[in-house]
Amino acid sequence: MKNYPNVFIFNHPLIKHKVSILRDKNTGMKEFRELVEEITTIMTYESMADVELVPVEVETPLEKTMQLRVPEESVAIVPILRAGLGMVNGVHRVFPTARVGHIGMYRDEETLEPQEYYCKLPDGIEHKTVLLVDPMLATGGSACDALSALKKRGCKKIKFMCIIAAPEGIAAVAEAHPDVSVYVSTLDRCLNEHGYILPGLGDAGDRLYGTK
């Protein structure tokens, strides 16, 4: 796969361990959901290493001191419905006060093209660092359209996080949105003729919520 300067693929042993359990078809819904959150938390630490900090004065039991903090209301989480919802709590463990927006996309089963059906975002999102999250990056269509939707609403600093990605999806997003940092837990082999990632883990939404 071509190297893209805006794409970061993790090589973390804990992520590899957790993804191996995530893939297993015998992993139940509860454990699957917990693993998605745990992997997301690890990814959030890494992907937000450049988050903005501002100086604040703090009074310890001994003296006053200047420290650095993430500004209040400076981070927003936007999951791509519905599977992206499974990653929200993982980000909230790091940024518990982050506001949450939602973008609803579905894939036409015949054309494989994404369709937007819902978009509701926090006020002032154009001034925040936005984490767009979706567990799977297959063709890249939904992610590209969601990123375009955020940009149309004034968002300038956007990061995209996914757990499993196909090379085709990475190429699509990296080339359509070179200004967006893309963080990938695990790079898989390819897409099959139906647009599903191989070896993949099945349908993330179904496994998160117990549907078929």
CA 102 to chain CA mean position, Å: 12
111: annotated active-site residue: yes
Say which of 111, 129, 189, 207 is annotated catalytic.
111
Cis peptide, bond prior to residue 82, ω within 30 of zero:
yes
Indicate the SS3 state at residue 156. Answer: coil
Say which of 44, 107, 108, 129 is annotated catalytic.
107
123: annotated active-site residue: no
Closest among 183, 112, 178, 180 to 142, alpha carbons compared? 112
Say which of 23, 27, 41, 203 is annotated catalytic.
203
Indicate the SS3 state at residue 128. Answer: coil
206: annotated active-site residue: yes
Indicate the SS3 state at residue 5. Answer: coil
DSSP character at residue 135: S
- Is the distance from CB of 195 to CB of 139 less than 8 angstroms? yes
Say which of 44, 206, 207, 211 is annotated catalytic.
206
Catalytic residues: 107, 111, 203, 206
